[in-house]
Structure 1
Amino acid sequence: MSLITDEIRSSATEFYTGNDICQVKSKFLLTEVGLPNGLLPLEDIEECGYVKDTGFVWLKQKKKTEHKFEEIGRLVQYAPEVTAYVEPNRIKKLTGVKAKELLIWITLNEIYVNDPPTGKITFKTPAGLSRIFPVSAFEIKEEPNDVKEENAAAKEVKETAAAVEVKEV
């Protein structure tokens, strides 16, 4: 059963559909509230929304996905619908996110950055268990614009060279 009703959609301060814009907006929101931008690496997001008055956020994707955070060696599972309430440096009442601990999947319901300068982030379960990791494990390193432009130019040169080779054969 979906937690997202038409009433919630209509009260949203921000509402977007389509993977590209939802990816950008979800990373922006995480950064804006003081959390790492790679915390919710969802795929094929169909819609996302934010009700600023309450802090309620939702992300809907086509299907359940799993992501391994390589730096800490943890596998995390994201349901087709992820919801939460956000506030500065904290996500509360999180639904749709589980982490694999040894051989079992454990539901997560709260994530917070303790003291931003220390670079530590805490994940809590409904039972009160918690784990602390470095914030850097959940950040997506953005390339500076000049590096992006160089990479795009290099890719274009390679594609042009490949097209020329195909024509010559």
Structure 2
Amino acid sequence: MAEKEGGIVKKGHEEGTKMAVALLEEFGLPLGLLPLADVIEVGFVRSTGYMWILQQKKVEHNFKMISKLVSYDTNIHGYVEKKRIKKLKGVKAKELMLWPPVSEIIVDDQPTGKIHFKSLAGITKTFPVEAFGSGQ
């Protein structure tokens, strides 16, 4: 795929997870935002901000602090920039009986401590950023 050209790629769960966490940290995103399991590959193209994550199976994670169930597909990709992920694919958050895809994630500058999730349907949900801290 053209998007992946010139990308740094890490294979395997340990190396891939390390890279994903390092990218979240670098761009000011909560470290628990991507609870990954059985990572096959993580890649990042610095010139465009394009990031991809391949994992062996879908992961469902419940963020306990906000009682929110989120589904992470086997193929997650989007564009990462400072405090933001846009054109995100492969992440869905349960809303009543529906699973609308999350298309954008934005972290406010301090001191609000809020993170916003936008879906393609135009719905925006806002939560405390600490709900997505490491180990949540």
| TM superposition score category, shorter chain reference | over 0.9
Higher relative helix content: 1
Alignment gaps of 5+ in structure 1 = 142-169
Shift of 1:36: 0.3
1:96 lines up with 2:90 in the alignment: yes
Structure showing greater Rg: 1
3-state SS of paired residue (1:66): strand
CA RMSD of aligned residues (A): 1.1
Count of matched residue positions in the alignment of Structure 1 and Structure 2: 135
Higher relative CO (CA 8 A, sep ≥ 6), structure 1 or 2?
2
Shift of 1:11: 1.6
- Residues 37 and 55 of structure 2 are in contact (CA less than 8 Å); yes or no, is this contact kept in structure 1? yes
Farther off after superposition, 59-68 or 112-121: 112-121
Q: How does 1:28-47 map to 2 (within 5 A)?
A: 28-47=22-41
1:106 lines up with 2:100 in the alignment: yes
What TM-score results when the alignment is normalised by the length of structure 2?
Answer: 0.95
Higher relative strand content: 2
Alignment gaps of 5+ in structure 2 = none
Counterpart selection for 2:48 from 46, 49, 54? 54
3-state SS of paired residue (1:25): helix
3-state SS of paired residue (1:37): coil
- 2: CA distance between counterparts of 1:102 and 1:128? 16
Question: What's the % identity of the aligned pairs?
Answer: 47
